[in-house]
Amino acid sequence: MTPWKTNGLRIVRTVLILVQDLVRGQLTLRAMSLVYTTLLSIVPLLALSFSVLKAFGVHNQIQPMLLNFLEPLGEKGEEVTFNIVQFIENMNVGVLGAVGLVLLFYTAISLMQKIEQSLNYIWHIPQPRRIGERVVRYLSVLMVGPVLVFSALGITATVMNHEAMRGLLAIGVLGETVQVLSRLMPYLLVISFFTFVYMFIPNTRVRFRPALVGGTVSGIAWQTAGWIFASFVAASNNYAAVYSSLAILILFMVWLYLCWLILLFGASVAFYAQHPEYLYFRDGGPRLSDRLSNRMRERLALSIMCLVAGRFLDGERMPSILEFKRLLGVPMHVLQTVLDALERQELVVQNADDPPAYLPARDPSLVSVTQVLNTVRIAGEERLLSPERLPAPRPVEEVLDRMQQAVESSIGDITLRDLATQGTESLMHKPVVM
């Protein structure tokens, strides 16, 4: 197809799959979970930021920030902001004690952990970061992030009020350009925030361009949702009559839900922008790695080991998971499932590159093809769920033994070296089609 048809088809597929993700309910379910965690952690979270900002003398900026965030709630947003600020000012760390201080940190960090888990789910990442790395990242966001943000805003305000800058702004074209940028500044700040979250939080390498695409979509959606929600609140006086004092809390929770849903939706946009292959491996059913047949797992495992052994024997650069994805034409989390099984059986190891490359853990001449096949066949077995603990009639045992003997007698003497030396040109030029 022509490029414009290809791009048009990709956009249509992306929109359809994003709608499918919303309909399936995982994004909405995780957004509701984040709302609950936010209600528990918002005061400790802001208390930590308040304590850091107070040391730099800019703690008075928290209230304007909250007012800006809750602006769609109208007058009710001012009331919610006042109550939250009162909670923060009344919080006395000395009264809390050591246990209370630990709980304060844990409650604040739990929100960041929930965000990472939700974004890791969207990016198909099964493993979180190590606990030490998580704590360092979370505390840097909670304590250093606000200082950098308010410092940047303060420097910008100082520069804009300088006499030399005011003289430049008096120039017609330059002044008009600055006015346009000032009107776009709320959008640019929100887009920058979402882009930063999509690049910094997931436990994977997110490229800038996909993160910017997701940040742009979520930033525009957030500003638009704020305008629509403000109109809704202005016309919802009946809710106050029905729910009385609970109306503020309900509207606050609904706005939090919309904000988290927009953040997760933008993360999905960034994911599909970086991994367009997922646009073609989705049908609304279980995760693709859960639907792989045994035959497909064996084919992938042998192809991976053949590529690794071939590169190793030829002295070439070892492949990473990104190169496996390009050569084999399957999504990354499907490859990761097979690679994890091979790594657990010590057939491959990772190096310290970014992204890590995969190397053979043993001499290819000492690894047989049957070992690779057995590795993916036993993947998922546990001590309490294994063939040894599953009784079977004697005829079944005999048939299975004959099958294993037939495999070993036919290909038992073929090693990875033999497989790799036959060449991988056909594999490299003909990706596997699922």
List of long-range contacts for 252-256, beta carbons under 8 Å, 24+ apart: 252/70, 252/73, 252/76, 252/80, 253/35, 253/39, 254/229, 255/70, 255/72, 255/73, 255/229, 256/34, 256/35, 256/38, 256/39
Residue 425 has pLDDT above 80, yes or no: no
Angle at 364 between CA 401 and CA 403, to 5 degrees: 10
Choice between 394 and 151, residue whose per-residue pLDDT is larger: 394
Q: What is the pLDDT of residue 169?
A: 54
Residue 397, both tokens = 């045992």
d(CA 293, CA 303): 15
Domain boundaries defined on the chain: 3-279, 288-429
In the chain, the percentage of residues whose pLDDT exceeds 90 is 10
* Amino acid, single-letter form, for residue 369: V
Residue 97 has pLDDT above 60, yes or no: no
Q: What is the pLDDT of residue 430?
A: 46
Chain centroid to CA 284:
20
CB 115 within 8 A of CB 198: no
Q: What is the pLDDT of residues 196-222, one digit of tens each?
A: 889 888 888 888 999 999 999 998 898
DSSP 147-167: HHHHHHHHHHHHHHTSHHHHH
Q: What is the pLDDT of residue 276?
A: 81
Q: What is the pLDDT of residues 106-135, one digit of tens each?
A: 777 778 888 888 998 888 887 777 777 777
pLDDT band at 326 (very low <50, low <70, confident <90, very high): confident
User: Span 281-300, mean pLDDT?
Assistant: 66
pLDDT band at 51 (very low <50, low <70, confident <90, very high): low
The domain defined by 288-429 carries CATH number 3.40.50.740:
no
Q: What is the pLDDT of residue 434?
A: 41
Residue 237, both tokens = 């006086």
In the chain, the percentage of residues whose pLDDT exceeds 70 is 71
CB 358 within 8 A of CB 339: yes
Across the chain, mean pLDDT equals: 77
The residue length of the chain stands at 434
Q: What is the pLDDT of residue 277?
A: 75
DSSP 77-125: HHHHHHHHHHHHHH--HHHHHHHHHHHHHHHHHHHHHHHHHHHHHHTT-
Choice between 263 and 104, residue whose per-residue pLDDT is larger: 263
Q: What is the pLDDT of residues 165-199, one digit of tens each?
A: 555 555 555 556 656 666 667 778 788 888 988 98
